[in-house]
Amino acid sequence: MDNLGQRIRARREELRLTQEQIASQVGIKQQSYQAIESGNVKKPRHLYEISLALKCDMAWLLNGKEKEVKNVEVTNFMAYKVPLINYAQAKLWTESNELRNSTEFEYVMTSLELSNKAFALKIKDDSMEPEFKEDDIVIIDPAIKPTPGEFVVAMNGDSEVTFKKYRELRHDHYAKIQFELIPLNPDYTTISTLNQQIKIIGTMIEHRIFRRKR
């Protein structure tokens, strides 16, 4: 098989799945998936998710040189869809059942079993460079309490959603932990619960990095 689209199509047909079924698992429209199989999309954004849906090696999809299926892994293979939301939606995410039950989202696939409130977020600024760049995707689980040094999505005193590194400071008189949120980019300011109210929305459990041109 000469190209990426042909390998994707061959693997789908081997599994006896339709384009609609794969597109649904990946979280994209059937027309978008069809364009990938036809070769019109040379560098699909959702290649990782497609490899999960097709239960095959992403390296094999890319270059055809790796083994298609790792039989030991496929036996216990599970994939989960996580909605990709924006910063405004993240404000209401943990409180709004109506928002979480919507079917209008794009989705990313993960092999991690998460809570039903887990979501994905696309980084929108450079405050966490060099480790996290704009348009990287992080998967967040509100059910996981952060420990020092982990990364969190939070809402500051101005009701702005932010993604930062979590650092505990001390307990106050009410035995409540005071903490600060630290940007990795020194051009941005650290914020602290000593100066303003901060609500932790969730803890990062996966960082998805896409290919970058130099």
Q: Using 50, 70 and 90 to split pLDDT, how confident is the model at 72? A: very low
Residue-averaged pLDDT of the chain: 86
Q: Which two tokens stand for residue 143?
A: 């059910």
Give alpha helix (H) positions in the chain. 4-14, 19-26, 30-37, 47-53, 58-63, 71-75, 87-92, 97-100
Locate 17 and state its tokens: 């799945």
The 8-class DSSP code of residue 89 comes to H
- Distance of alpha carbon 103 from alpha carbon 209, whole angstroms: 25
pLDDT of residue 75: 40
**Architecture, CATH, for domain 4-75:** Orthogonal Bundle (1.10)
pLDDT per residue as tens digits for the range 107-156: 888 878 899 999 999 999 999 999 999 989 999 999 999 999 999 999 98
Domain boundaries, the chain: 4-75, 80-208
User: Are the folds of 4-75 and 80-208 the same?
Assistant: no
Q: Are 73 and 31 in contact (CB under 8 A)?
A: no
pTM of the model: 0.67
Determine the residue type at 184.
Answer: L
Sheet bearing 199-208, strands edge to edge: 106-110, 80-85, 119-122, 137-141, 199-208, 151-155, 161-171, 177-182, 191-192
Q: What are phi and psi of 121, to 5 degrees?
A: -135, 135
- The CATH topology of domain 80-208 is Umud Fragment, subunit A (2.10.109)
